[in-house]
Structures are given as C-alpha cells and as structure tokens.
Amino acid sequence: MQRLAHILPWLLLALFLALLLLLSVLFVQHQWQQEIQVKQRSSERELQLLASLIHNGLQTSNYQHIDSLIDDWGSNSSDIRQMGVTTASGYQFNTFERPASTDNPVTFTTTINYGYRGAAQLKLVKDFVGVQVRHRELSWNIGIIYTVVSSLLIALTLSLTKYQKKSAALSREVERRRLAETALQSQNDQLEKTVTNRTAQLTSINSELEAFSYSVSHDLRAPLRAIDGFSLALLEDCSGSLNQGCRDYLNRVRNNAQKMGHLIDDLLKLSRVTRSELQLKKTNLSLLAEKLIEELRQNEPERTVNIAIAPNLWGYGDPTLLQVLLDNLLGNAWKFTRHRTDATIEFNTLISDNNICFFIRDNGVGFDMTYSSKLFNAFQRLHSVEQFEGTGIGLATVQRVITKHGGKIWVDAKVNHGATFYFTLPDSDTEQTM
C-alpha cells in the first residue's frame, strides 16, 4: 500500500500526459479541418468568379480571351495544379497544368451555361500544400514536445524507482535500528532493575557485616579478655602452688587468646577495607613509607636495615587504605629480613606496559613461586608461625585495597633471595565508582 502511494502520483502524471497528447492530436486535426474548409470555400468562390469570366467569353465567342484567362489565372495562382474548360461539343480550350506538389489534390468542377449554345465544363484542381505543410509542422512540433516530456517522465520514473529502492533500504535500516534500540533499551531497563536488586542485596549484606563486625568487636573480645585475664590471675596468685607444667599450660592459653585477639583485629581491618568508601586524592607514598619505617625502627631499635625509599612517589587513591597497603607490605619486608645482617628494603617505581608501577623489594627469606597462587588468600601462610608471626590476613587485605582502587598486584620471589611485590594504582583522571 505504501509503494502504491509513492507510484500513484507518477501514474496520474503519465495519464495526464497521454490525455494531453490525445487533446493535442484532436486539436491539430480540428485546425487542419478548419483550414481545409476555409480553403475549400475560398476555392469555390474563386471557381465561381472564374466561371463567370469564362461565361462572358463563351457568350461573346472570344475563345482567345478564354485561353489567355486560363493561362494567366493559373500562372498567378500558386496552388492551382490544373485548370481547363471543355464545351458540350467536346472542344477543349487551352489547359493549364503544373507539376503536382502533393499526392492528394482537390478537384472542383462547375457547369457554365451560355444560352442556346449549350454548356461547358470548368475543372479546377488545386493543391492544399500550405495547409498540409503547416499541419505536418504542427504535428512535428507536438511530437517533439511529447518525446521530450515522455523522456523526462521516463527519467523521472527511473529516478523514482532508484529512490524507492533506496527509501525501502533506508526504511529497513531505520526499522532495524529502531528494533535494536528497543532491544537495547529493554536490556538497559533489565540491567538497571538487576543493579537495583543487587544494590539492595549488597546494602543488606553490608548491614549484616556491620552487625557482625560489632558483634566480633564487642561480644567476642569480652570472653577473650576474660580468658587472658583469669589465666594471668592464676599465674600471679597461684604461682607457688602450680608446677611448671601448669604454668606452661596457662601461658599457652594466654598466648592463644592473644593470638585470637590479633586475628579478630586483622579480620576487622579486612572487613573495613571491603566496606569503606573511597576518598581519592593524590597521596605522597614516600612520606607514608618513611613514617611506617620509623615506627618499625622504634619497635625494634636493635635492628640495622638498609632502607631505600625513592622521594616524591605520588599515588592516586584513598590515603587511609594506601597506608594499610604499605603497612602490610613494608611490615612483611621488615619481618622476613629479620634473620639477615645485611637486610635491605627498597621502595621505588618502574615503567611497565607504559604505566607507572610501584614495587617493594627485600632480600629476605623469599618463598617458592610454586605456591604464589595461594599468597593473597586469607589464612594462607607460606611460613610457619614458629618461623614468623602473623595471621595470614595481611596480603589478602593488600589485594582487597588494590582491587578496590582498580589496580593490579603481583609478586616475584625466590627462596633465600627475597621477594618483590609490584602494584599499580589508577591515574589521577580515572574515576572510581565503587
């Protein structure tokens, strides 16, 4: 139906042109018929006039005059093809005749009565060549006009066909895009609905985690403090009545209670890292690292460690979480170089894949890279508690901090040759929406 609506104006135009051609032909035919009729009436008047002149010559028997009249009249009339007079007795006067210019001459005849002498027959043959020439010229002009108009119509029809094809292709493309946009909008709506539901679930989970953290922070600490306190009271008040084995048991109880307290503290730190909202800003990591190293020196003043911290190492991130990150990495480097007299810890940057990459390197005990996949999991340890203290939460916390900032962290290590931890942070123009 739509295609018919496009073609209908052109069909009407073609019909109009055909009707116009028919009217033109009828008009030309009518004009030609009118000119013929005018020419015929003129010729009939001419015939009557000529007949009256010839009648006078016949009445006076001036036949020579009639011959001259015929010659002069025929010579002076360009459209006369033949003219002659024949008497009743069969006498034929001088006949005027010129070559024919058309194949369809028009013949006029009349009878001339001249008294008792009888009657003569006047024959006049005329060429309407001028009328026919004008008719052909007009027909030719109309044919040219019709040919030009028809050519234009054909060209317009071809252009319309191409336009319709392009229009149909464009319509299909528009429809395809409309359907694609509709599908995309539907997917976006579904995605927004899913995000809203997930956000509500995460909000509920965060609320439960906060309640759990509060419970761990208050409800679990009280029994641990009681166990540690009463164990200390027994050691102090009943030390004389307890043998060495009992005192060792109480010390183990106290050590494990304190260990449990440290584990709870680390778990709470990990939980806070996960739930905290980022406050991003440019942070001088060199100053943070220097402060943390100073605290480590104060805790173990007897140690001699060669510290190399590059100045003005700037990172873009949450200052509080970046301090937690450096605290764990520098703390591990300090801890695992404990048994070396030439302990060295380095904090600097390098370029990796066109990005600034921070690294903390030590020459401590290192570890076997075969087990590196477990390194950033909670409660995973590559060294025993007897060798090095810890809860196995620190590197898991480090990975959470890096992931929350949209960065990456990896490690390279070798047994008894130390370890190097590499990490990246986002650029200052990177938006964090976590």
Count of C-beta atoms within a 10 Å radius of residue 306 = 11
CA angle 212, 390, 272 (to 5 degrees): 30
Condensed to tens digits (0 to 9), the pLDDT of residues 214-231 reads 666 666 667 777 787 878
431/163: higher pLDDT: 163
Q: Among 41-45, 53-57, 95-99, 324-328, which is the least confidently predicted range?
A: 53-57
Of residues 418 and 101, more confidence is placed in: 418
Per-domain residue ranges for the chain?
A: 2-127, 276-434
Tokens of 375: 């390194």
- Give percent of the chain with pLDDT exceeding 70: 73
Q: Which residue has the tokens 């029809």?
A: 157
- The yes-or-no verdict on residue 95 having pLDDT over 70 is yes
Asked whether the predicted pLDDT for residue 59 surpasses 70, the reply is: no
Q: What is the pLDDT of residue 359?
A: 95
Query: 273 pLDDT band (50/70/90 cuts)?
Result: low
Q: What pLDDT score was predicted for residue 306?
A: 92
Band of pLDDT at residue 267, cut at 50, 70 and 90: low
Q: How confident is the model at residue 30 (pLDDT cuts 50, 70, 90)?
A: confident
Query: How many Cβ atoms from other residues are within 10 Å of residue 57's Cβ?
Result: 22
Could you report the per-residue pLDDT of 76-90, keeping only the tens digit for each? 777 777 778 887 777
Percent of the chain at pLDDT > 90 equals: 11
> Among candidates 335, 389, 400, 328, which has minimal Cα distance to 366?
335
Kindly report the pTM of this predicted structure: 0.47
How much is the pLDDT for 433? 40
432 confidence band (pLDDT: 50, 70, 90):
very low
Digit-coded pLDDT (tens) for 340-379 = 888 999 999 998 878 889 999 999 888 878 877 777 776 6
**Which of these CATH numbers, 3.30.160, 2.60.40, 3.30.450, 2.40.128, describes 2-127?**
3.30.450
- Cα gap 151→214, rounded to integer Å: 91
What H or E segment, with its residue span, contains residue 159? helix 129-214
Q: Domain 276-434 - what CATH class?
A: alpha beta
387-412 confidence digits (pLDDT tens): 666 666 778 888 888 888 889 999 89
pLDDT at residue 434, as a whole number: 41
- Check residue 218 and give its pLDDT: 61
Name the token pair of 369.
Answer: 């890279």
Kindly report, residue by residue over 228-239, the tens digit of the pLDDT: 787 888 877 787
